[in-house]
Chain A
Amino acid sequence: MTPNLHNAASQPSFAGEHRSTTRASAARWKTGAGPAVLPLPHAASETPKVSLQGISLSYKTNGSRLLAIDNIDLKVRAGEFLCIVGPSGCGKSTLLHLIAGLHKPTSGHVLIDDKVVEGTGTDRILIFQELGLFPWLTVGQNVEFGMKMKGLSTAEREEKTRYYLRLVHLSQFKDSYTHQLSGGMRQRVALARALATEPDVLLMDEPFAALDAQTRDLSCVVHISSRSDQARISG
């Protein structure tokens, strides 16, 4: 049987904005049709934080092969904020999962600091579209989880948990369970959990879907944008 290769949907396209300290307020989003890596100011000399080389992913459905992602190259440097846009089903989430190391690409490589990575790593934290908060843990324990896996001391974990919960305005819900919170609050827990792990690359899948307008403008976003050495990719 010969594999039947065909494109599932149009590929995701990329719109990027470089936030340097001098241009932090300039929010200009460019959208384009088809994959495109945007020109970036003063980036030529730096090595990219994240780079994808010829990433493709296909899988079998009902006997035929479905090509979900077709040969994508991109580079994101530290301090950049890359936004992937496209219609639903075009592979935005899948691409983020690939960068996070949750799936293996059919071909191509994911490189962090010019080194090929395989599997997951706390240098790349993904905020899932469906959040994936742990219902058996309290809000505080959820935020603490990544730090615990990294082997941070209890004192350090407590201090950072407090800090990040305050950042997302959820200090008084530290001991609540996630099913007791509203959708927007849960999303903020997921945000705090990802930030608390202090990754070099923050991957966000529909990160602000359930946040209200006020929160979007507030500290979380300010914080996300404040670390100049972090690369952020959102889909």
Chain B
Amino acid sequence: MKRAARQVIFYAILITLWVLLAKLKIWPPYIFPTPWGVLEALTGGFKDRSFWIAIAVSMKRMLLGYGISVALGMVLGLGVASNKFLEETMGGLLVSLQSLPSICWLPLAVLWFGLTEKAILFVVVMGSLLSVTIAMEDGRKQMPKIYGMAGRNLGARRFKLFWHVLLPASLPYIVTGLKQGWAFAWRSLISGEMIFVSLGLGQLLMMGRDLSDMSQVIAVMILIIAIGYIVDGLVFKTVERRLQNKWGLTPAT
């Protein structure tokens, strides 16, 4: 309770400061918007459905791009973790590539795919693939060896061993990486969407800039934060907690 009260006070002070600065009119409102202007942009955006459409379009791309990343990353990560040759060669490359911001893939994507859906998807996949791959690799390595041995001992081989033993055994270790992959994919998506009329949230952001409508820019930013927070805080946290309870990693209450 005390914590919630502190948070309320913190945000109240923040908004009061914002109101004060806006009231002082140091900058014109199209550069520094008022809180009620942003609120209006938010409700207006939802009312004329442009925000709903943008969210739907962005989420669709997100699910597709992230899905591809997870599937590819799983194969790559497990390959690297279970093959010494791949680990020594590709392992280093993966780590060094991770320091490359995903937006760096954008010029390449535009040249390869043009201003299309595919270019955005490519940026999303490249943005999250590496972190998913590295998470899978780590998860596979952190997993206690006994599970793999017990699985083989009980007759599980190859795909069955992977599907029934190695994958579930490493799940608690890789879920953190999957969460990180989601965050990276989300960022890449928004930057990717800014490049052309793509209907997504990123494009709404650029539209706000083009129209010198700072209220809309801030409103869309709030939306992006909110969606990121909801997915991270609700979806992934719940999955993480459930896994940990089921695996007995945290004391069951």
Chain A interfacial positions (CB closer than 8 Å to B): 97, 100-102, 119-122, 125-126, 128, 130-136, 145-146, 148-150, 177-180, 193, 197
Contact = CB atoms under 8 A, between A and B. Distances in A.
Per DSSP, chain A at the interface is mixed
Contacts of B156: 145, 149
B154 A136 contact: no
Contacts of A135: 246-248
B153 A102 contact: yes
Nearest to B247: A135
Contact of B153 (A100, A130, A180): A100
B141 interface: no
Interface residues of B, number: 19
Given A130-B146, A132-B147, A146 B168 contact: no
Interface in B213-227: none
Interface of B: 146-147, 149-150, 152-156, 160, 164-165, 168-169, 171, 246-248, 252
B155 A121 contact: yes
A136 B171 CA distance: 10
A122 B154 contact: yes
Which of B146, B155, B171, B252 has the most chain A CB atoms closer than 10 A to its own CB?
Answer: B155
8 contacts: A100-B153, A102-B149, A126-B153, A128-B150, A145-B164, A150-B155, A180-B252, A197-B154
Nearest to B245: A177
Q: Which 7 residue pairs of A and B lie closest in terms of their CB atoms, listed nearest first?
A: A179-B248, A132-B150, A149-B155, A146-B154, A122-B155, A132-B146, A120-B152
A127 to B, nearest CB: 9
B169 A134 contact: yes
A128 to B, nearest CB: 6
Contacts of A119: 152
Contacts of A102: 149, 152-153
B150 A134 contact: yes
Given A100-B153, A122-B154, A149 B160 contact: yes
Contacts of B168: 134, 136
A28 B200 CA distance: 79
A179 B244 CA distance: 11
A187 to B, nearest CB: 14
Contacts of A178: 248
B154 A180 contact: no
B147 A134 contact: yes
A123 to B, nearest CB: 10
Contact of B149 (A121, A128, A177): A128
Contacts of A101: 152
A136 B150 contact: no
A100 B156 CA distance: 13
Nearest to A137: B168
A177 B248 contact: yes
Contact of B155 (A120, A134, A136): A120
Given A132-B146, A133-B150, 14 more contacts: A102-B152, A102-B153, A121-B155, A128-B149, A132-B149, A132-B150, A134-B147, A134-B169, A135-B246, A136-B168, A136-B246, A149-B164, A180-B252, A193-B154
A136 B247 contact: yes
A142 B211 CA distance: 62
B155 A128 contact: no
Contacts of B252: 179-180
Contact of A197 (B152, B155, B248): B155
Contacts of A150: 155
B153 A125 contact: yes
A230 B143 CA distance: 33
Nearest to A203: B153
A190 B33 CA distance: 66
Given A128-B150, A132-B147, A134-B147, A146 B155 contact: yes
B149 to A, nearest CB: 5
Contacts of A131: 146
Contacts of A177: 246, 248
A100 B154 CA distance: 10
Given A100-B153, A120-B152, A128 B169 contact: no
Given A122-B155, A146-B154, A136 B169 contact: yes
A146 B157 CA distance: 11
Contacts of B155: 120-122, 146, 149-150, 197
